[in-house]
Amino acid sequence: MEKSTGLPPKISATVDLDGAGVQHGHLVIPHSRNDSPWGSILMPISVIAGGEGPTILFTGGNHGDEYEGPITLMNLVRELRAESVRGRVIVIPALNYPALRAGTRLSPIDGLNMNRVFPGRRDGSVTEMIADYVQRVVLPRADVVVDFHAGGKVMTFLPMAVMHRLPDPAMMERTTAALHAFGAPVGLVLEELDAAGMLDTAVEAMGKVFISTELGGGGTVSRETLAIARRGVSNLLVHFGLVDGAIEGPGRTRLMEAPGAESYVVARGSGLYEIIAEPGEEVREGDPVGRIHDPERPWAEPVLCKAGMEGLLVHRHVAGHVQTGDCLAVVARDLA
Ligand code: CA
């Protein structure tokens, strides 16, 4: 821990996080630069609070090239009325706001990945300051956190809600119930390869329910993925008792797991990626999911990329160029 963590965050809010009614405003992030020496970044936040009840935090744009979250959450803050809410809904449509503005995964200001900097740093760069504010001001107020992701420009996923395998059985049960309530076609229980610095980890360490998503990708959205996101938000508000209504499409989620390294197909070469298997297709262990052509040696046999286990392909690389070490595909299996 740094000495500075005893001080309040450098970011301030123009909304009262503990206030009632509908408030739209900004997190004011100090950002001195050549073209604006005393400038700041105004990052949108909305708080919609009614009567007694839990607090749910929705975040999108953790990565700036994933759009279902931001679009769905912008629709939410315009439509949700305080009178229909029991509890509090805090919405940050774009958590890495500078990245969303630039349409890039990482922040164009400091090059940082929002989902690798938690718990953040008060005296750090813009991305670190945002994480520090969320960690120390927003998360302690939340009972449930839902963080929207998609594949971004270079990956695509079968639309799914995602949770981690949790050591506490009671938390595992609560989170699995929320995953089912979200109602995506697939609910993936993930074993993270590197969980340090993630918002997920920060929330789970506080003993709160955390749900994430991977909805499509390719740097765009589809009607299908937007409909899933919209239904997911509405279902979770009902599930946690914040609004009245019925869960739409209950029981449709296929619960699956990505148990470990064998789920991930990693590129063993660089070059042009020929797709063999698409997300949604079942594969057996050893089945080729794609192959990599070396443009400098067109006559050479392409490098085969094989599934490490039997299951459903839930992700694939989108970009035509791949490099050694890229994650090309993810295979998931039904959770027993
Ligand atoms: Ca992401």
Summarised one tens digit per residue, pLDDT across range 100-150 is 999 999 999 999 999 999 999 999 999 999 999 999 999 999 999 999 999
C-alpha of residue 44 to centroid of ligand 1, in Å = 20
This prediction has a pTM of 0.96
Mean pLDDT for 62-85 is 98
Instruction: Compute CA distances 71 → 59, 67, 110, 156, 294, whole Å.
Output: 11, 6, 25, 18, 39
C-alpha of residue 68 to centroid of ligand 1, in Å = 11
C-alpha of residue 101 to centroid of ligand 1, in Å = 16
Please, are residues 321 and 241 in contact by the beta-carbon 8 Å criterion?
no
User: Chain centroid to CA 328: how far?
Assistant: 19
| Separation between Cα atoms, residue 241 and residue 56, nearest integer Å | 10
C-alpha of residue 7 to centroid of ligand 1, in Å = 30
C-alpha of residue 65 to centroid of ligand 1, in Å = 8
Span 280-291, pLDDT tens digits: 999 999 999 999
C-alpha of residue 20 to centroid of ligand 1, in Å = 32
C-alpha of residue 207 to centroid of ligand 1, in Å = 22
Span 25-35, pLDDT tens digits: 999 999 999 99
C-alpha of residue 148 to centroid of ligand 1, in Å = 8
C-alpha of residue 335 to centroid of ligand 1, in Å = 23
C-alpha of residue 141 to centroid of ligand 1, in Å = 24
pLDDT bracket for residue 5 (50, 70, 90): low
If you average pLDDT over every residue of the chain, what do you get?
96
C-alpha of residue 51 to centroid of ligand 1, in Å = 33
Instruction: Compute CA distances 220 → 96, 150, 174, whole Å.
Output: 17, 9, 31
| Separation between Cα atoms, residue 205 and residue 191, nearest integer Å | 16
